[in-house]
């Protein structure tokens, strides 16, 4: 029998049943709460509390959707647009900035390079809560508190993206290509934009997705910086609505529907870009 047959290492029938059962239970654990969210979003307020989730008697999905966008003068729509703006624009600019820096770390030599890179890695470790108060004081000194920029500028900073950029640049952009471009007389920056950036594409998408997720999830910074509801991202808005729900239960169905809609963009992004990010997942663990 050929030893390349990978079925040799497979467990027997009993083992296989156990393995499948464990995985199936884990998948149920991760899927059921999301399924609950979908079902709960289609319930009216009364049947939500009746918790008879599977009966289709009270199907108010569309009504909840309408209520969501009508609540408090259409605030949710604003929050959604804000979140998209913070996340998509922030991740696009942030990933370009980080990957460019990581590429430069990989391809150029200068004094104290590794020390500087160490500083970048150290920045990965610093908790966001440590930076929030000083950032708030700086923004308040500059008159930027409670503006778009107070949230947008800090989220551009992505030191882990620089690390990934360097790893990807090592892997995807051979030095010979740069030498060839130099011999052809191409400028350094032209080479980066025309040649290297294209090769870095999958890496750039990975960094973009990481940052998109982080910004879409961002909650602490907007909470510190923003008091104007019109500038809120979805996360902070839903947090506030949920705190109102204990007093005015009409908020419950809209919070649930709002949560469901807030999950969609990341699912969409991960599905559309899955070809790219899968290759990037392990890049962080290079020895």
Considering the complex, what minimum distance in angstroms separates the CB of residue 204 from other proteins?
14
Residue 276 sits in the site that holds other proteins (CB under 8 A): no
Choices 55-63, 71-79, 198-206, 239-247 (CB under 8 A): range interacting with other proteins: 239-247
**What is the distance between the alpha carbons of residues 276 and 60, in angstroms, rounded to a whole number?**
38
Is there a contact between 82 and 232 (Cβ–Cβ < 8 Å)? yes
CB 89 within 8 A of CB 146: no
Question: Closest distance between other proteins and the C-beta of residue 106, in Å?
Answer: 11
Residues for the chain: how many in total?
287
23 touching other proteins, by CB under 8 A: yes
Q: Which residue in the set 220, 229, 273, 276 belongs to the binding site for other proteins (CB under 8 A)?
A: 220
Please tell me the distance from the alpha carbon of residue 46 to that of residue 51, in angstroms, as a whole number. 9
Q: Which stretch binds other proteins (CB under 8 A): 33-41, 61-69, 71-79, 199-207?
A: 33-41
CB of 259 to other proteins, least distance (A): 5
219 contacts other proteins (rule: CB under 8 A): yes
Question: According to the binding rule CB under 8 A, does residue 247 interact with other proteins?
Answer: no
Q: What is the DSSP letter of 51?
A: T
Scan for tokens 């930076």, then name that residue.
131
By the rule CB under 8 A, 205 interacts with other proteins: no
In the set 33, 62, 248, 275, which binds other proteins (CB under 8 A)? 33
Q: How many residues bind other proteins (CB under 8 A)?
A: 104
Q: Assess 70 for contact with other proteins (CB under 8 A).
A: no
Binding of other proteins at residue 149 (CB under 8 A)? no
Angstrom CA distances, 123 to 107, 119, 159, 222, stand at 22, 6, 6, 20
Q: Per CB under 8 A, does 3 bind other proteins?
A: yes
Looking only at residues 77 through 136 of this chain, which bind other proteins when binding is defined by CB under 8 A? 97-98, 100-101, 103-105, 107-111, 113, 119-120, 122-136
* Alpha carbon distances (Å) from 41 to 11, 64, 69, 119: 42, 7, 14, 46
Site string for other proteins, 156-195 (x = CB under 8 A): xx-x--x----------------x--xx---xxx--x---
- Can you tell me the distance from the alpha carbon of 83 to that of 71, in angstroms, rounded to the nearest whole number? 18
**Residue 260, CA atoms < 13 Å, CB-side half-sphere:** 20
C-beta atoms surrounding 165 within 10 Å? 29
**Phi first, then psi: what are they for 197, rounded to 5°?**
-60, -35
Is the CB of 67 or the CB of 100 nearer to other proteins? 100
For position 250 contacting other proteins by CB under 8 A, the verdict is no
């Amino acid at each position: 029998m050929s030893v390349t047959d990978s079925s040799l290492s497979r467990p027997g029938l009993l083992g296989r049943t156990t393995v499948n059962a464990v995985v199936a239970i884990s998948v149920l654990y991760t899927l059921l709460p999301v399924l609950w969210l979908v079902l709960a979003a289609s319930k009216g307020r009364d049947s939500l509390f009746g918790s008879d989730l599977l009966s289709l008697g009270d199907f108010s999905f569309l009504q909840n959707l309408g209520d969501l966008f009508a609540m408090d003068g259409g605030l949710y729509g604003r929050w959604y647009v804000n979140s998209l703006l913070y996340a998509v624009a922030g991740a696009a600019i942030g990933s370009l900035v980080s990957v460019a820096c990581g590429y430069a770390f990989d391809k150029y030599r200068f004094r104290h390079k590794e020390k500087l890179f160490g500083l970048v890695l150290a920045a990965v470790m610093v908790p966001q809560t440590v930076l929030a108060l000083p950032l708030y004081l700086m923004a308040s000194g500059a008159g930027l508190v409670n503006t778009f920029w107070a949230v947008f500028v800090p989220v551009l900073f992505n030191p882990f993206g620089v690390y990934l950029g360097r790893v990807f640049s090592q892997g995807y952009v051979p030095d010979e290509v740069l030498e060839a471009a130099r011999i052809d007389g191409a400028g350094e920056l032209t080479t980066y934009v025309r040649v290297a950036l294209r090769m870095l594409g999958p890496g750039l998408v990975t960094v973009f997705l990481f940052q998109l997720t982080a910004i879409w999830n961002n909650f602490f910074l907007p909470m510190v910086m923003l008091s104007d509801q019109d500038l809120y991202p979805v996360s902070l808005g839903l947090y506030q609505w949920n705190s109102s729900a204990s007093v005015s239960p009409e908020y419950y169905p809209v919070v649930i529907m709002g949560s469901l809609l807030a999950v969609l963009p990341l699912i969409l992004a991960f599905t559309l870009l899955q070809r790219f990010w899968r290759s990037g997942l392990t890049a962080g663990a290079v020895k």
